[in-house]
Amino acid sequence: MSDFALEVQDLKVHFAIRGGFGRQVGAVRAVDGVSLQLRAGETLGVAGESGCGKSTLARAILQIVPPTAGRIVLGDLDVTRVRGLELGRLRKRLQMIFQDANDSLNPRVKVGAAIEEALMLAGVPTAERPHRVQELLRTVGLPYAFARRYPHELSGGQRQRVGIARALAVGPELLVCDEPVSALDVSVRAQIINLFQDLQEQLGLGYVFISHDLAVLRQISHRILVMYLGHVVEEAGNPQIYDHPLHPYTQALIGSVPHADPRVNRARARIRLQGEVPSPSHPPGGCPFHPRCPLARDVCRSEPPPLREAAPGHRVACHFAREGIWMGGELDGHGTA
Partner 1 sequence: MATEPHEMTAFDAEELAAAEQTPTWRILLGSLAHNVPALVSALVILALAAIAILAPQIAPHNPDLGYLNGLTAQGSPVPPGPHFLLGTDENGRDVLSRMIYGARVSLTIGILANGAAILIGVLVGMVSAYFGGWIETVLMRLTDIVMAFPILLLAIALIAVTGPSMVNIIMVISLIYWVNIARIVHGMVLSLKEREFVTATRTLGVGPWRILFKHILPHLSSAIIVYGSLGVASTILLEASLSYIGIGVPVPTPSWGNMISEGQAMYQVAPWLMIFPGIALVVTVLAFNLVGDWLRDALDPMQEGH
Which residues are near partner 1 by CB under 8 A? Answer: 62, 64, 87-88, 91-92, 95-96, 98, 100, 103-109, 117-118, 121, 138-143, 150-155, 157-158, 161, 163, 166-167, 170, 185, 187, 191, 194-195, 198-199, 202
Range 215-219, long-range pairs (CB < 8 A, 24+ positions): 215/257, 216/181, 216/189, 217/45, 217/47, 218/242, 219/193
Contact between residue 249 and residue 318 where contact means Cβ atoms under 8 Å apart: no
| Among candidate residues 163, 162, 151, 156, the one with its CA nearest the CA of residue 182 | 156
| Among candidate residues 25, 27, 12, 9, the one with its CA nearest the CA of residue 65 | 12
Rounded to whole angstroms, the Cα distance separating 73 from 1 reads: 10
25-60 burial: b if 16+ Cβ within 10 Å, else e:
eebbbbbbbbbbbbeebbbbbbbbeebbbbbbbbbb
Contact between residue 242 and residue 259 where contact means Cβ atoms under 8 Å apart: no
Handedness of CA 39, 41, 42, 46 (dihedral sign): positive
Closest distance of CB 26 from partner 1, Å: 23
Rounded to whole angstroms, the Cα distance separating 79 from 76 reads: 9
Rounded to whole angstroms, the Cα distance separating 209 from 193 reads: 11
Alpha helices, DSSP H only, in 145-294?
A: 156-169, 186-203, 214-220, 238-243, 248-255, 262-267
User: Residue 141 or residue 291: which is nearer to partner 1 going by CB?
Assistant: 141
User: Residue 140 or residue 241: which is nearer to partner 1 going by CB?
Assistant: 140
Closest distance of CB 87 from partner 1, Å: 8
User: Residue 188 or residue 269: which is nearer to partner 1 going by CB?
Assistant: 188
Closest distance of CB 18 from partner 1, Å: 16
Closest distance of CB 132 from partner 1, Å: 14
Closest distance of CB 195 from partner 1, Å: 5
User: Residue 103 or residue 323: which is nearer to partner 1 going by CB?
Assistant: 103
Closest distance of CB 29 from partner 1, Å: 22
Angle 220-132-177 (CA atoms, 0-180°, nearest 5)? 25
User: Residue 208 or residue 325: which is nearer to partner 1 going by CB?
Assistant: 208
User: Residue 31 or residue 97: which is nearer to partner 1 going by CB?
Assistant: 97
Contact between residue 196 and residue 177 where contact means Cβ atoms under 8 Å apart: yes
Query: What are the residues whose beta carbons fall under 8 Å from the beta carbon of 333, sequence distance 6 or more?
Result: 294, 295, 296, 297
User: Residue 21 or residue 266: which is nearer to partner 1 going by CB?
Assistant: 21
Instruction: Identify the bridge partners of residue 34 per DSSP, sorted by sequence position.
Output: 11
Closest distance of CB 30 from partner 1, Å: 16
User: Residue 195 or residue 220: which is nearer to partner 1 going by CB?
Assistant: 195
Closest distance of CB 113 from partner 1, Å: 9
User: Residue 186 or residue 267: which is nearer to partner 1 going by CB?
Assistant: 186
Query: What are the residues whose beta carbons fall under 8 Å from the beta carbon of 31, sequence distance 6 or more?
Result: 11, 12, 13, 53, 56, 57, 60, 230
Closest distance of CB 230 from partner 1, Å: 21
